[in-house]
Structure 1
């Protein structure tokens, strides 16, 4: 019997987190840890947020729900600093207050015991040296320097940043996961907990770009702006927003089966019978513009609900692009009780997690975890000894398990040739324009990126014997991660309630699109479907008539993965302290809504949220400006009046010039100057600035090399490929990939022999009955 766990009894209960934040990054990091039971004490300070001034307090109070506060000059601060388990800071090197809050941050750190872990949420760092000079920061700078902005927008217009502090929220999520890992190592009493955990916004976004980018450059598909769709459909047609009579819908097919469902839903009109529209990968590469015209004609004659109904009937991923106001009234979120009551009859984002435990007696706890293994005593392999059973596919779930593998865990991926992971089906990579040789399922860089160094076990989950075998593997594992549609595992006896009967200490994460229950829980979808349902894609564009959405970065998946990691690692903290496992039901769409606190509040107060393009609602100067040459851009943000005056002096603005006048002068001044030179001039004045870089520089440039963004792996068929790894750093080092992705079933015999003690005769019999490969 499963029982629901509230935040007052969550896995981090009684652990104290000291939060010293002036940005959304630190505030959201603390918010997530609080939702999972931690006692979060926040040093009182104003937050700099992308909301109208009148909403500052409401949004800040929403982010600070459930926290305690302490004044910087209070006598209580020293005692809290002495007994806290981890410190979270986001302005150690730089702030939006001309250095005032940086001084406070450093003063607080001085009174903390030396061995207390510090999670340091930076903005843009050039090296791993945490004593290096700070680079002035605003979230738009991380979007520019990470390569993310290069992929958002129209090819004939400026690159777009992520709006509404989203880069900071994403960084805060990764920071909360790093904090949970530091707490796990602390309660596990390892020798080297790790003191300085460096989670930097530009690294986080580069990590996301590097993963999705493995769908682009290895196929000679550029990472660039392509309007309201993924560039060349991201490899499989379609992947775009389409207009309807009453708004927009997102349609995204990643497999032949889904594409065939779309064509069936269209009624197989004459144009679909042409051979060039048979294979969605060929359509994406050669015929997307032509196909878009046909699909647009069909969607434009229907409402969003009508298109959505056809998608549900024929099994292709589609969702309406909702406004924030429409998301607030969606029945699915009401069913799960996601929104909480706020002031003045408003609703606020609640928790995207539903946590459950089983009632188990001490005698039921028979399995002893291998964590921490001897290698885990070092912070270089902090999860060594942990075994993870990976029942997930595509991006979000495999990203979680790949991160755990980067951190030293053993990850056993269960798959089967008859229903291969769609990440294996993205087509052959190209080398000098020639398709790579090798088995069809082994030549996909995207799969190599998301499944690096895992062990592959080929088991037919659809068979009774196969499901039983997977259940036995779960009984010998610490963690299970899955992102299948609700009910799939339960029908095979692989739900948490069943698995925990033999392994009460098991931590399991189910990270479906909309959660395990509710009227929409069973719909199919990928990241753009998530961002459409959350209302995010209605906010990204040049204005309300030129929406772009987030097709290239596909933020629903990495955001969902980050939120899953926070809960998973926190649940391991709870297990280490109590012996009890935990079941985590995560809604990835609710996780997206959770990082849209500002727009959710603003739409209720003001009645709408403007599409900001690259504008900021509080900072006096904020934008992306054309520079000399073709398609060269620089992002600049002045956070204070001092910084605005410094920008004005650079561009020879009159002393009385307004912010809009200075912005216009900046636009004239940059147009015939080198983008790097512009950024350097602004940084020398203490003003945040960065050139908007493309994929190659973000992943292979000097900063990426200095920061250790990725690891070169050697794959049997793909050869050398650089894969990005978890973006956290600790005490001056990052985490490298342990190797390339496995071939399908490469480790079947070894794993079943090692973990389940199956003999050669047992394995031969299972293979003969097609239970394993």
Structure 2
């Protein structure tokens, strides 16, 4: 019943960016076939520990990494290096709407599984390639890894402790943001291509680059440089243009305070018992606070250490000062808002029994997302798909398995 329930996707991608894109489409109802290597499968199946445990507490072969990006997909194993395997992919492509792949530039050409080859079979095919640097340019043939892209794309230059902080250094994100954002942009591009095809009957090729994406999501940082010519620097957890807008220590942890205007700043210091800091001529306006942040922030830190994180959050919320705790992931899933929104879900799984997953954040009133299938075991649906889609009988399937094709 999903919005994309009429769409068939052939997912030839591995690791994160491509599978993230395909999972978005699957959550919206698309029938996604995940093509994996016989015997080993997607690399992320082995990126562990942790592995998922079954009802008896015994580890399964399902890695936590793999399951976060492969729900609602059917897994088939096909060796695309062999002619018989390539023929299976071509037959599946002929009745698919979308193909997603993240092989090196031109790597699928030698197998006859590139866009130009497959669009001869399926003229309105939508084919999305995801690489580190795109299909063109001097870096096109370089392998692209999220960590490297975060550095090359400028993200790490503005992430980490402030540059005047002792021992400060550039830092990567705690999650692979270049991969994830590229998957998100790829999902959007594919949806646009589907709309275009609905109007014109034309398929098209989509060229997605991790580097392009990383630069795009630098947002105001990129814009600030292009506007001013000044190279932005690291500010740690502070803001370059708003004070106070950063993390603060409390007596039992850390919190975030985002006083975006003079009134909120006044409320902040007033509930902290330091109202005189709002009247001090050095701090009465935001531009003055930005100018004198080195004098002001230590005074505010002395103030915030006088109360617990919980006490501060209660006081600031009552005073309408934007604030929040810095939760560890356990605290995240125990949060009442997270529970109310049903962010964590339980789904049945053939080896784990019950598997805990994070729900899709896309909440549509008419075509809601749903978890129809848990992340698949390796090759779980090979026989089913070959019989259903290509009408292979049991003898044909067993012969392919004997040859190591599937």
**TM-score, normalization: structure 1?**
0.48
Matches within 5 A, 1:245-394: 375=1, 381-394=2-15
**Structural mapping, 1:334-733, within 5 Å:** 375=1, 381-418=2-39, 420-429=41-50, 436-438=58-60, 442-544=61-163, 546-603=168-225, 605-629=228-252, 632-651=253-272, 652-654=274-276, 655-657=278-280, 658=283, 659=289, 660=293, 663-731=297-365
Q: Distance in 2 between matches of 1:691 and 1:577?
A: 48
CA contact (8 A) 1:451 1:742 kept: yes
**Shift, 1:663, TM fit:** 4.2
C-alpha distance in structure 2 between counterparts of 1:734 and 1:677, whole Å: 38
Deviation at 1:700, TM superposition (A): 4.2
Judge conservation of contact 2:11–2:99 (CA < 8 Å) in 1.
yes
Deviations 1:625-667 (A, max 9, x none): 11122xx111011112222222232233224221346644432
Structure 2: how far apart are the matches of 1:733 and 1:585?
28
Q: CA deviation at 1:507?
A: 1.3
Quick check: 1:751 aligned with 2:385? yes
- Residues 712 and 505 (structure 1), Cα distance of their counterparts in 2 relative to 1, 3 Å cut: same
Cα distance in 2 between the residues matched to 1:737 and 1:429: 22
- Contact 2:130-2:210 within 8 A present in 1 as well: yes
Q: Is the 8 A contact 2:28 2:368 kept in 1?
A: no
**Partner of 1:470: helix, strand, or coil?**
helix
Shift in Å, 1:411: 0.8
How many pairs are equivalent? Answer: 387
Indicate if the aligned counterparts of 2:15 and 2:43 stay in contact, CA closer than 8 A.
yes
Alpha carbons 2:131, 2:144 under 8 Å: kept = no
SS at match of 2:279: coil
Q: Assess if the C-alpha contact under 8 Å between 1:710 and 1:736 holds in 2.
A: no
* Helix, strand or coil at the partner of 1:679: helix
* C-alpha distance 453-700 of structure 1, shift in aligned 2 (>3 A): farther
Shift of 1:568: 0.9
Structure 2 counterparts to residues 82-97 of structure 1, below 5 A: none
Instruction: Name stretches of at least 5 consecutive residues in structure 1 with no aligned partner.
Output: 1-374, 376-380
Distance 1:616 1:486, change over 3 A: same
Matching residue of 2:286: none
Give 1:764 deviation, angstroms.
2.7
> In structure 2, the residue corresponding to 1:669 is in which secondary structure?
helix
Distance 1:436 1:538 in 2: 43
Larger deviation: 460-469 or 500-509? 500-509
Give the 5 Å matches for 1:118-157. Answer: none
CA separation in 2, counterparts of 1:672 and 1:584?
Answer: 55
- Matched residue of 2:148: which SS? helix
Q: Secondary structure at the match of 2:68?
A: helix
Aligned partners of 1:499 and 1:699: how far apart in 2?
Answer: 44
Partners in 2 of 1:474 and 1:716 — Cα distance?
28
1:734 offset after TM fit, Å? 6.0
Query: Residues 679 and 689 of structure 1 are in contact (CA less than 8 Å); yes or no, is this contact kept in structure 2?
Result: yes
Q: How far apart are residue 608 of structure 1 and its match?
A: 2.5
Q: Distance in 2 between matches of 1:734 and 1:620?
A: 41
Structure 2 distance, partners of 1:504, 1:732, is 31
Listed one character per residue, the Cα deviations across residues 118-155 of structure 1 (whole Å, up to 9, x for unaligned) are: xxxxxxxxxxxxxxxxxxxxxxxxxxxxxxxxxxxxxx
Q: Which runs of 5+ in 2 are unaligned?
A: 284-288
Is the CA contact (8 Å cut-off) linking 1:727 and 1:734 kept in structure 2? no
Q: Is the 8 A contact 1:723 1:737 kept in 2?
A: no
**Equivalent residues of 1:620, 1:641 under 8 A apart:** no
Counterparts of 2:119 and 2:68, CA distance in 1: 31
